[in-house]
Amino acid sequence: MADQNDFDIRDLNDDELIETLNDDLYDGLADEVAEGVNECLRRGMTPNETLTLGLVGGMQIVGEDFGAGVLFVPEVLMAAKAMKAGMAILRPLLAETGVSKVGTAVIGTVKGDIHDIGKNLVSMMWEGAGIEVIDLGINTDADAYLKAIEENNAQLLGMSALLTTTMPYMGVVIEELKKRDMRNRVNVLVGGAPLNDAFSEEIEADAYCKDAAVAVAVAKKFLSM
């Protein structure tokens, strides 16, 4: 009789592999997620496909169930940890494309907010596009953003917010840039699940980026101006 030990992800077809990766991420199984990511790459899936279908797809389901009260913070933390285990494998592949440096960006998740997965993805993709990224991490206040822009002579500022209660802080940072006569030095790009174009316009950011791919395209556009 077959037991669970007989399960081998190499026996799965591609759709089943992605589904298993989504499930393992949902269940917060970091080792299994790493194994699934490696298997996707072994089969010739691109790092981007693996990221989008296997990891971001899984996290989307986590988000829906978190919002619906099916999952709670501890389970979501486990899922985030598993996501990071997968991203750690993909990071060098996405970031090392050999392109020459095209500019410098400062990025961080805004004050009061500790969500960093989306921001980390944008950092990875920007690095892959040849942008030097100064990543300030989470819970970043206006002083820290402005100091990093000055010290690194950055042309881009990226801000991430995942909470409706923290997104207004992006406007505070932009006001601070204006007050210190620094607004014309940087293009401000904002992103995060609760944002949209209207909010970006309202706070006078230069662009709203709905995902990491858009963040790369928009950053390249501004850097080539």
For ligand B1M, the binding residue among 57, 63, 130, 168 (CB under 6 A) is 63
Minimum CB–partner distance for residue 29 and ligand B1M (Å): 16
Which residue stretches of the chain are H helix?
Answer: 14-26, 30-42, 47-49, 57-67, 73-95, 117-128, 142-152, 169-179, 197-202, 212-223
Residue 41 or 61 having the CB closest to ligand B1M: 61
Which residues does 209 contact at the CB level (< 8 Å), separation at least 6? Answer: 122, 158, 189, 190, 191, 215, 218
Considering beta carbons, is residue 7 or 194 the nearer one to ligand B1M?
A: 194
Residue with tokens 């706070």: 203
Beta strands 187-191 and 103-109: pairing type?
unpaired
Among 25, 119, 142, 169, binds ligand B1M (CB under 6 A): 119
In terms of CB distance, is 39 or 113 closer to ligand B1M? 113
User: Minimum distance between the CB of residue 16 and ligand B1M, rounded to whole angstroms?
Assistant: 23
Question: Does residue 193 interact with ligand B1M by CB under 6 A?
Answer: yes
Structure tokens that stand for 161 in this block? 């917010």
**DSSP codes of every residue in 13-43:** -HHHHHHHHHHHHHTT-HHHHHHHHHHHHHT
Q: Which stretch binds ligand B1M (CB under 6 A): 17-25, 32-40, 59-67, 175-183?
A: 59-67
Q: Which is nearer to ligand B1M, 73 or 198 (CB)?
A: 73
Q: Which two tokens stand for residue 74?
A: 């501890």
Q: Which of 18, 25, 62, 154 binds ligand B1M (CB under 6 A)?
A: 62
Under the rule (CB under 6 A), what is the footprint of ligand B1M?
56, 59, 62-63, 66-67, 73, 76-77, 80, 112-119, 121-122, 158, 160, 162-164, 189-194, 209, 211-212, 215
